[in-house]
Structure 1
Amino acid sequence: MNENLLISGKKTLSTFFKEEIIEDYQSPSFHHLSQTLSPTHFPQSSSPLFPQSPESLWSHSPSLHPSQNSSLLYCCISSLRHDGDVYSIAVLGDLVLTGSKSRRIHAWQSLDCHTKGYIRTNSGEIRTMITQDNMLFTSHKDHKIRVWNIKSFHTNPNFRPKKVTTLPNITNFKTFIFRPMSHQQHKSISNPINPLHKDIISCMAYYHIEGILYTGSFDKTIKAWRLVERKCIDSFIGHSNKINDMVINQQNGYLFTCSSDGTVKMWLRVYGETSHALIKVLIFHTSPINALTLSTSPSQNHNSFLYSGSFDGSIKFWEQEMIISSQYNNNLGNKNDSLFQGHQFAIFCLVSLDNLVLSGSEDSTIKIFRRQNEKKPSHECVAVLEGHRGPIRCLATLLQKETKDEINFLVFSASLDQTFKVWRVKVLQDQMKNNCKIEEDKRKEDHGGRNKSMDLYEPTPVLSPSWVNWKLHRHSIH
């Protein structure tokens, strides 16, 4: 095997690793799991062993016009209590994995949330997880990344993950410590790269074309790992404050990072080298930026839209006109047209699916926004998912069925109330197109083209009234 096979995309990532010793996996029996997840932590009404029945019937998305039919339906189909705060969610086929403060990564069946087992690791606080092919990447409290091979359930019904490697490994440290210093005649040679992050690894992104894993940390650095070599090939300071999220455009390799310094930065690996260059700094938010997501236009021009969610509750988006272009801008004349108020309180996570953008907020709600009019994009809130009793920490989606008439997908959400919920969402395509035309005509009549649909959604925090009053008082001071 060689690296060229990886670039060609003919082999999956798992074929490049000789699987190492299993760190510790479990596929427990019902009896063993019932002892591990005791009733004191999981009441039977919300236990992973007994998922709740749907909390509500299908709900219609709010309509601007009483006479028009709703284009979006949703309902909560499962709700269960986790063993601690859930920091991350990853979807791999029909499997959903959750990472928390504990050392266990739980695996669930995506639709009914029946437990499939768990991975027990040497270090907990799994802040972020991503998947590629049959591989799972997890970050831990010891500031290391672990790579797992998870067998397909179609060929192996048992949950038997195997640890492939840990990054950085012992070899990385030996190279860093014992690599000879540059001679005077080779002053241009860079110093050895420190492969270990010094603080929490908050985000990851995988560029599957070249097999490079990117990690961002609260230590303000970005590291690039070439997985075939199992080594860190580049490390650099990305922001002046902690890095909160990152996404990568798989078509062109552009890496986007966001930070508490209020900026989004665009990076690209220098052709033929391992170093990375800063292409553009997208400055707009005045508050820390917590989340990013990249959405591709469903139209034939394949435009991509980059969204960022801020601590002040606003959502900003940029449009890339062509996949081969590095120009991400709004092109809307007025920069305020590319900014809309998503929530009153902080946004912690963003995900996208087709022309839908979902945001999870400190106000304990999930909002679904629809992008319309691709030539001059605008966004309408088409649904507010309520049910959590604390800030929404992470989101994930799984497309179930897409036809010319409708789109069906699942939404997975986790909150600091220590609950994990599954939502089923149905989007009616034809009705949505009709609604888009109605909204476009209505907007032309509105003075200044303001999207009045936002006014229909008042913040609905379900936290304690004293907490809400304190939060509002704090905002009024600042």
Structure 2
Amino acid sequence: MWPSDHQTYTSSNDGPSPPSTNSLRPSFLSPPLRHHCVATLKGHTSYTSALALAGGHLFTGSSSGQIHRASLTSLSHHQTLPDEAMIAAGDGAVKALVASSDKLITAHQDHKIRVWRVDHAAGNHHQRITQLATLPTLSDRAIKLLLPRNHVRVRRHKTSTWVHHVDAVSALALSKDESLLYSVSWDRTLKIWRTADFKCLESVADAHDDAINAVALSGDGAVYTGSSDGKIKVWRRRQGEKGYSLDATLTKHKAGINALAMSADRVVLYSGASDALIRAWRSDGSSGMCRTLETK
């Protein structure tokens, strides 16, 4: 567990030291606080693979494709999740969850994204989660299917429309105004969806050389993607351009990127990788400046 005495916070040796700011220095480097477990939730028949909070509820996704909902106002020690607050949500693991004001959006190993309407006012013992859509939607697929230019090669002798993910959807992110949904996949694509009608607006093909595992959004409109190829890529939609283009590639990690997170002010990016390092990035306007949190 960390923080611990053997962890250090050091400047990267292969780049200039960024300015010292409160937003760059994470709060977990302060003297450790005492923690105790206030509740234990049981109910999944397999391991928990994703979590999200919304409307006073905790949503949990499992490797067996189940989604549970638990009220945060009634948590108690060793609580069992009620069966009526559980839904079966497709084949394979739930890879990611994001919650909007009235919706829950889930990413799945079966290559799909599912959108659920959530009634936050419903009682704890009455299920009020109903499926609204599966992305890509039937209408979106049908329109793209008719035109050959919408087909892309995904494997030898196999094609698919560009709105489809063709491997596990690994991570999701919502824009601040909740109007856009960003999804990344092990199929190496980044896709952008409009939440008003769930239409796929854009797909960045071959965004990385290997599976994409994480996505995060900054406050200035940048989209960060992290991949098993060991790279973090920065994507921007520039004025006058219709789509996202590559703005920068961050390569200080020596192994695959597993997770990305933005600070509360959406200024500092944190990346975690298989090299046992967590790096903190702050843009200087041209390339990412980095500090490293040693976790070995």
TM-score using structure 1 length: 0.49
Give the corresponding residue for 2:37: 76
Distance 1:62 1:172, change over 3 A: closer
Contact 2:67 2:87 in 1 (8 A): yes
SS of alignment partner, residue 77 of structure 1: coil
Matched, 1:308 2:268: no
Report deviation, 1:180. Answer: 6.4
SS of alignment partner, residue 46 of structure 2: coil
Q: 2:113 aligns with which of 136, 142, 145?
A: 145
Alignment of 1:52-451 (within 5 A): 72-81=33-42, 82-110=44-72, 111-112=75-76, 113=79, 115=81, 117-153=85-121, 158-179=126-147, 194-209=162-177, 211-236=179-204, 237-249=206-218, 251-271=219-239, 274-296=242-264, 304-320=267-283, 325=285, 327-330=287-290, 338-342=291-295, 344=296
SS of alignment partner, residue 315 of structure 1: strand
Report deviation, 1:219. Answer: 1.0
Seq. identity, %: 30
Report deviation, 1:85. Answer: 1.6
Contact 2:90 2:110 in 1 (8 A): no
Report deviation, 1:308. Answer: 0.8
Corresponding letter in the other structure for 1:115: L
Distance 1:181 1:115, change over 3 A: closer
Contact 1:193 1:235 in 2 (8 A): no
Aligned mates of 2:213, 2:117 — CA distance in 1 = 26
Give ranges in structure 2 of 5+ residues lacking alignment: 7-30, 151-159
Corresponding letter in the other structure for 1:278: L
SS of alignment partner, residue 141 of structure 2: helix
SS of alignment partner, residue 95 of structure 2: coil
Corresponding letter in the other structure for 1:196: H
Give the corresponding residue for 1:389: none
Distance 1:210 1:75, change over 3 A: closer
Normalized per residue, the structure richer in strand is: 2
Give ranges in structure 1 of 5+ residues lacking alignment: 1-60, 65-69, 183-191, 297-301, 331-337, 345-478
Q: Which runs of 4+ in 1 moved over 6 A?
A: 61-64
Aligned mates of 1:152, 1:93 — CA distance in 2 = 6
Contact 1:269 1:277 in 2 (8 A): yes
Report deviation, 1:132. Answer: 1.4
Normalized per residue, the structure richer in helix is: 1
Aligned mates of 1:263, 1:197 — CA distance in 2 = 21
SS of alignment partner, residue 171 of structure 1: helix
Distance 1:295 1:312, change over 3 A: same
Distance 1:125 1:239, change over 3 A: same
The root-mean-square deviation of aligned C-alpha atoms, in Å, is 2.8
Aligned mates of 1:162, 1:274 — CA distance in 2 = 34
Aligned mates of 1:341, 1:87 — CA distance in 2 = 25
Aligned mates of 2:177, 2:71 — CA distance in 1 = 29
Contact 1:102 1:125 in 2 (8 A): yes
Aligned mates of 1:63, 1:242 — CA distance in 2 = 34
Corresponding letter in the other structure for 1:143: H
For these two proteins, the number of residue pairs brought into alignment is: 253
Aligned mates of 1:104, 1:227 — CA distance in 2 = 23
Aligned mates of 2:200, 2:135 — CA distance in 1 = 8
SS of alignment partner, residue 140 of structure 2: helix
SS of alignment partner, residue 190 of structure 2: strand
Corresponding letter in the other structure for 1:313: A
Distance 1:303 1:295, change over 3 A: closer
SS of alignment partner, residue 187 of structure 2: coil
Corresponding letter in the other structure for 1:244: N
Report deviation, 1:252. Answer: 1.9
SS of alignment partner, residue 76 of structure 1: coil
Report deviation, 1:142. Answer: 2.5
Give the corresponding residue for 1:469: none
Report deviation, 1:208. Answer: 3.5
The structure that has the greater radius of gyration is 1
